[in-house]
Amino acid sequence: MKNKYMPTAISLYLNYFIHGMGVIILAQNMDALANQWHTNTGGVAVVISSLGIGRLIVLLVSGWLSDKFGRKPFVVLGTITYLLFFGGIILSPSIAVAYIFGILAGIANSFLDSGTYPALMEMFPQSKGTANVIIKAFISVGQFGLPLLVSFLVAGNYWYGWSFILCIVVLVANLIFMLAAGKFPVANQAAPKADEPKAVAPKSKGNLWFDGTLFILYGYVSQATFYLVSQWLSQYGTKVAGMGDASSRALISYYSVGSIVCVLVTAALAKRAVKEIQFLGVYTLISFLSLLLMYLFPTALVCSIMAFVVGFSAAGGVMQLGLTVMSTFFPQGKGTITGAFYTAGSIASFTIPLVTGTMASNLANIFLFDVIIALIGFVLAVLITIRYYQLFGQNKQKGAVEHANSR
């Protein structure tokens, strides 16, 4: 709490609370928006897909520019662009106009990612993994709270747009604070040795093509794993596990709670010197096993328990941990690697719905597909772990030899 950047960090996290709402706000208001745009739910789904396109347009470039011009401009740009999205959606008269604002939401998310993740790693160099994983907690809280708000508005027959107005009000207040008092470290600057003796960039970096490819693939697979289950979990509960409508919808709540619990567990273990790399393989293995159990034993009890476990292991920050480990391999371009890593995730968000859409007649096959993706993720996590200890284990041994020779 003595960190001088703490107020700015809280402001950054608050942006992701609203982002968590923004990710699902179109789906939660699907009927009202379909009526406003004179279409059906399929038309609204088309608009939802535009968010992935928006991320792809600028994420890689914005990450590189974040390294060049600093983190704050991109956080501010992301906030402003999100304001345009929330305001534009409730004013859109048609799908075509809404699609443009949907693209802006994806662009906003890209701007926020390219400024926020590197900034948090630079604000908290000794706890980079924890700082990034907490982002996921705020996203999950937003995703947990929005359905409750929408249910309240529907039950009271209130205008659906109040959920958008709430997001606008919070973002405006946050933007004012960020412009007036937001403080950021110098981009890619190492912490002073006197304060952070261990926070120095490793001399031996990862191989750009081999290690970089592993991380890009992991970014795609980790996003695909939890994105797929979050989109189809409720329907799987209803049509395969034979659960009622209310019970199947509750699976998403269990899933969200699991992701929040994972953040707390990860933060607690990180304080006990557990490294980010040690979480990666374990969480990915748990994701694979929980999805496999849900596929093999599709009962209400198993789905309810495994929804929590999948939320814990696949959506509780494992993607953020992967990015943190990648920054250890490539420490001098945090904005660039953030852009590359999350571009892979954006491609997953865009392509996975296209693939699963062809399987919609058999939801069991969709979950089998997710099981296979999770298994690939585990294999990638093992390879990354092996490379980590090859590179940085050798560095430690080399450092010890050099120290002995100097004496």
How far apart are alpha carbons 7 and 138 in whole angstroms?
15
Are residues 178 and 209 part of one domain? no
Task: Let me know: does 9 contact 183? Beta carbons within 8 Å.
Answer: no
Q: Indicate the residue among 186, 220, 240 that finishes a domain.
A: 186
Q: Quote the CA–CA distance of 23 and 57 in Å, as a whole number.
A: 17
Task: Determine the average pLDDT of the residues in 192-206.
Answer: 50
Return d(Cα 233, Cα 251) in angstroms, integer: 7
Q: What is the pLDDT of residues 212-234, one digit of tens each?
A: 999 999 999 999 998 888 878 88
Q: How far is CA 223 from the centre of its chain?
A: 8
Residue 240 above 90 pLDDT? Answer: yes
pTM comes to 0.78
**pLDDT of res. 399:** 47
In the prediction, which pLDDT does 137 show?
86
Residues 344 and 278 in one domain: yes
- Band (pLDDT 50/70/90 cuts) for residue 407 is very low
Is residue 194 over pLDDT 60?
A: no
Amino acid at position 394, single letter: Q
Model confidence at 405, pLDDT cuts 50, 70, 90, reads: very low
- Whether the Cβ atoms of residue 54 and residue 103 lie closer than 8 Å to each other: yes
Last residue of some domain: 186, 215, 246?
A: 186
Determine contact, residues 402/204, Cβ cutoff 8 Å. Answer: no
**Residue type for position 399:** G
Q: Is 38 found in the same domain as 113?
A: yes
Dist. CA 31–CA 204, nearest whole Å = 54
Residue 390 is assigned to a structural domain of this protein: yes
Other Cβ atoms less than 10 A from the Cβ of 44: the count is 23
In the chain, what percentage of residues exceed pLDDT 90? Answer: 45
Q: Which of 136, 122, 128, 166 is nearest to 29 (CA)?
A: 166
Full domain range(s) for residue 356:
203-399
More confident residue, 343 or 272: 343
| pLDDT score at 45 | 76
Number of domains in the chain: 2
Give the model confidence (pLDDT) of 296-341 as tens digits. 999 999 999 999 999 999 888 888 899 889 988 988 788 889 889 9
Q: What is the pLDDT of residues 56-74, one digit of tens each?
A: 888 878 888 888 888 999 9
Whether residue 167 is predicted with pLDDT greater than 90 in this model: the reply is yes
Say how far apart CA 363 and CA 361 lie, in whole Å.
6
Of 120, 135, 100, nearest to 19 by C-alpha is 135
Looking at the fold, whether 42 and 166 belong to one and the same domain comes out as yes
Report yes or no: 232 and 367 within 8 Å, Cβ to Cβ. Answer: yes
**Are residue 72 and residue 179 in the same domain, yes or no?**
yes
Q: How far apart are CA 111 and CA 108, in angstroms?
A: 5
The answer on 133 and 40 residing in a single domain is yes
Give domain status of residue 169, yes or no. yes
Is the domain of 142 the same as that of 227?
A: no
Q: Which two tokens stand for residue 104?
A: 């802006």
Cα-Cα-Cα-Cα dihedral sign, residues 285, 288, 290, 292: negative
What is the rounded average pLDDT for all residues in the chain? 86
Residue 258 CA, distance from chain mean position: 15
Which has the higher per-residue pLDDT, 229 or 286? 286
Q: Each residue of 76-124: pLDDT tens digit?
A: 999 999 999 999 999 999 999 999 999 999 999 999 999 999 999 889 8
Q: Are residues 147 and 208 in the same domain?
A: no
Of the residues 123, 152, 186, which one is the last residue of a structural domain? Answer: 186
Residues 213, 161 share a domain: no
Who contacts 128 (Cβ-Cβ below 8 Å, separation ≥6)?
120, 121, 276, 324, 327
Residue 406 has pLDDT above 60, yes or no: no
299 and 272 both lie in a single domain: yes
